[in-house]
């Protein structure tokens, strides 16, 4: 399996660990049981649906020119999505190259338009200490990376919708190679998702 795919699986594993820590029971869903879900997390009567690398049914894409019969293939495919009334999207980039992380930054912004999630999260393992930058956007990414490598290990971008609602995009470092990385990375996931996934009410 390619490293980028392993990284997506690792981030998915952290999300599942977070949910299990909240008391959810996560199980795979039989094909066809739900239109857009690969897994479901349950606690009491509450269900939270998880998808892995699939387009979501609430895409705002109406069509591409006259290619209506193939519209599905043009939809964005978020790496990980959580849906339970709230919509949370993860984009995973296993790279230390500024240009690739910059692409990811703009990709989650595109997902904010197409899917209107409550939160979108770009995760990556961190840039190399010495990297060259040839564009303004990559320089911004390098500056952001330096800030992210502080105590919190993430930054947030806040956007105001036309309705006046504030939504966030997070850019976070999840590095599987860091010492005691699982607990540290899980804490980053927890800090972000706790703002969206509220404690279960019995």
Query: What is the tens place of the pLDDT at every residue in 170-184?
Result: 999 999 987 565 688
Residue range 64-72: average pLDDT?
77
49 and 82 Cβ atoms separated by less than 8 Å: yes
Which tokens go with 92? 């995973």
171 and 148 Cβ atoms separated by less than 8 Å: yes
Q: 78, 82, 81: which is closest to 91 by C-alpha?
A: 78
**What are the pLDDT digits (tens) for 20-52?**
999 999 998 875 545 555 899 999 988 999 988
1 and 172 Cβ atoms separated by less than 8 Å: no
Paired residues of 157 in beta bridges: 169
CA 132 from chain centre, in angstroms, equals 27
Query: Burial of 100 by CB count in 10 Å (0-12 exposed, 13-18 middle, 19+ buried)?
Result: middle
Q: 101, 115, 113: which is closest to 171 by C-alpha?
A: 101
CA distance 157 to 119: 10
**What are the pLDDT digits (tens) for 119-140?**
999 999 999 866 676 799 999 9
Q: What is the pLDDT of residue 179?
A: 56
- Of all helices (H) and strands (E), which one includes residue 97? none
């Amino acid at each position: 399996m390619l490293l980028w795919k392993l990284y997506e699986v690792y981030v998915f594993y952290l999300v599942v660990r977070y949910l299990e820590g909240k008391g959810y029971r996560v199980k795979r869903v039989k094909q066809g049981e739900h239109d857009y879900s690969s897994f479901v997390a349950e606690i009491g009567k509450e269900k939270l649906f998880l998808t892995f690398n699939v387009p979501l049914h609430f895409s705002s894409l109406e069509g591409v020119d006259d290619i209506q019969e193939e519209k599905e293939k043009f939809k964005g495919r978020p790496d990980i999505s959580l849906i339970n009334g709230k919509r949370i999207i993860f984009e995973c980039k296993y790279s230390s190259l500024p240009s690739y992380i910059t692409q990811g930054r703009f990709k989650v912004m595109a997902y904010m338009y197409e899917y209107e999630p409550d939160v979108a999260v770009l995760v990556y393992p961190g840039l190399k200490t010495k990297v060259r930058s040839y564009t303004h956007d990559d320089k911004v990414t390098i500056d952001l990376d330096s800030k992210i490598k502080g105590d919190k290990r993430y930054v947030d971008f806040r956007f105001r919708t036309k309705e006046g609602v504030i939504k966030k995009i997070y850019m976070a470092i999840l590095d599987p190679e860091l010492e005691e990385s699982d607990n540290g990375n899980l804490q980053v996931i927890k800090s972000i998702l706790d703002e969206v996934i509220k404690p279960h009410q019995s």
